[in-house]
Amino acid sequence: MKQIITSILFLLSATSADAQSAFVRGADVSWCTEMEASGRKFYDANGQETELFALLKQIGMNAVRLRVWVNPEGYGYGAWCDKADVLKKAERAHQQGLDVMIDFHYSDFFADPERQEKPKDWSGYTAEQLKTAVADHTKDVLTALKQKGIEPKWVQVGNETNNGFLFEKGKIDWDKKGSEGYTGYVALSNAGYDAVKEVFPEAYVIVHIANAYKAAESNGLFYRKFKEAGGKFDMIGLSHYPDWKDWNSTKSDVASNTNAANSVKTLGDLFNVPVMITETGFPQQDVETGSLVMTDLFNKMKPLPQCAGILYWEPEVDGVWKPDYYDTVGWDAYAMGAFTTDGKPTAILAAFGDGSTGIHTVPAIQNDAPTQWYDLKGRQHSAPTKGLYIMKKGQETRKVLLP
């Protein structure tokens, strides 16, 4: 018996070591082609213009995540993040030797816990027709990648599916007891899972939810009910956006790195699958704190054998650039990127280096002017919390949405 236990411990140790050596350090840069089409360029710390995927590798990253929408042009957004656009970005990542994660939203636009709109082309579909559509769309995109010799290491079936996806057919009914409320969602999710395995049997299929800090509550309630309803997954994906002020807190009800790490460990142990932080980010106007937060996140996650890696969400933006479509819906620029307005990575990304790239030389935004904050009524705030504010720094003034 002692010999058996020793062998098991050795295998666990070896598995942990393998996970450490392959720890994912990456980013979702799905906006990059849209940015480049608008004239944006990217530069290394020395000011040398550098192709973005080459720059990510130079920084020390080893993976990218790319979202897929069904028909964003028909939705009104434009032909960005559709199959053709994703293929172009995946080819660029592949050329740099970066691993690829494909993130299916099963929508024409962003999907999140509260917004899981069916693609317009799928409106009116029955539950069975939606299953077929999910499978066909998944296989179509993945087969196109396969034909180009690109094999995604991970495929995410749905994005932040805390309440299911493809509403209303795939929405979780929380009023039903046990796992009954998951039936419609699981049937659609499994259609995606099976489609992935048909094209890429070795790919890890990820089921992804938001709010990592509380993802393990009630013994992993979401994933427990998902599995009880017959749901299939090979990896758990979590979004973790650390609280601006309480990122280092030990209080149980805040989005802190400690709580996110506890969730990763707990979920990994409960369901015996690896867990990845597939989205993270921090307000970019606070580069110094952002660098500390990301370094702390890596320090907490890397020692965990349950954690497969960390991906930053859209670091290439600067808080000024935004998609043209955002004017249509009244949205401001995304405020948690990690690049300067002149296209250089900031120190927020230092933690994503592999220790051999000189990433410590990546500069923070050089602007000695004090930052002033105002609410929308013009009242000044010394320490704003969550919400929409006006930020003034030197000659620059812009709206900022603080998460």
Predicted local distance difference test score (pLDDT) of residue 356: 53
Give me the domains of the chain, ranges plus CATH numbers.
22-366 (3.20.20.80), 367-403 (no CATH)
Q: Among 110-114, 135-139, 353-357, name the one with the lowest average pLDDT.
A: 353-357
Predicted local distance difference test score (pLDDT) of residue 138: 98
Question: What would the 3-class secondary structure string for the chain be?
Answer: CHHHHHHHHHHHHHHHHHHHHCCEEEEECCCHHHHHHCCCCCECCCCCECCHHHHHHHHCCCEEEEEECCCHHHHCCCCCCCHHHHHHHHHHHHHCCCEEEEEECCCCCCCCCCCCECCHHHCCCCHHHHHHHHHHHHHHHHHHHHHCCCCCCEEEECCCCECECCECCCECCCCCCCCHHHHHHHHHHHHHHHHHHHHCCCCEEEEEECCHHHCCHHHHHHHHHHHHCCCCCCEEEEEECCCCCCCCCCCCCCCCHHHHHHHHHHHHHHHCCCEEEEEECCCCCCHHHHHHHHHHHHHHHCCCCCEEEEEEECCCCCCCCCCCHHHHHCCCCCCCCCECCCCCECHHHHHHCCCCCCHHHCCCCCCCCCEEEECCCCCEECCCCCEEEEEEECCEEEEEEEC
Predicted local distance difference test score (pLDDT) of residue 4: 39
How far is the C-alpha of 366 from the C-alpha of 339, rounded, in Å? 12
The confidence band for 2, taking pLDDT boundaries of 50, 70 and 90, is very low
Judged against a pLDDT cut of 60, whether residue 396 lies above it is answered with no
pLDDT tens figures, 339-368:
999 999 999 999 998 765 545 445 544 444
The confidence band for 391, taking pLDDT boundaries of 50, 70 and 90, is low
pLDDT tens figures, 262-297:
999 999 999 999 999 999 999 999 999 999 999 999
The residue type at 52: L
How far, CA to CA in Å, does 222 sit from each of 258, 259, 267, 372? Answer: 20, 17, 10, 41
How far is the C-alpha of 35 from the C-alpha of 12, rounded, in Å? 44
pLDDT tens figures, 201-216:
999 999 999 999 999 9
Average confidence score pLDDT of the chain: 89
Q: Are 295 and 257 in contact (CB under 8 A)?
A: no
| Per-residue buried b or exposed e for 53-71, using 16+ beta carbons within 10 Å of the residue's own CB | bebbbbbbbbbbbbbbbbb
Record the tokens describing residue 249, joined without a space.
């807190």
Span 164-175, average pLDDT: 97
How far is the C-alpha of 301 from the C-alpha of 373, rounded, in Å? 33
The confidence band for 14, taking pLDDT boundaries of 50, 70 and 90, is very low
Span 103-121, average pLDDT: 97
The residue type at 158: G
**Residue 22: how many other CB atoms lie within 10 Å:** 13
The confidence band for 161, taking pLDDT boundaries of 50, 70 and 90, is very high
pTM (two decimals)? 0.86
| Per-residue buried b or exposed e for 76-103, using 16+ beta carbons within 10 Å of the residue's own CB | ebeebbbbebbbebbebbbebebbbbbb
The confidence band for 381, taking pLDDT boundaries of 50, 70 and 90, is confident
Q: Are 51 and 42 in contact (CB under 8 A)?
A: yes
**Token match 């994703």: residue?**
86
How far is the C-alpha of 98 from the C-alpha of 61, rounded, in Å? 8
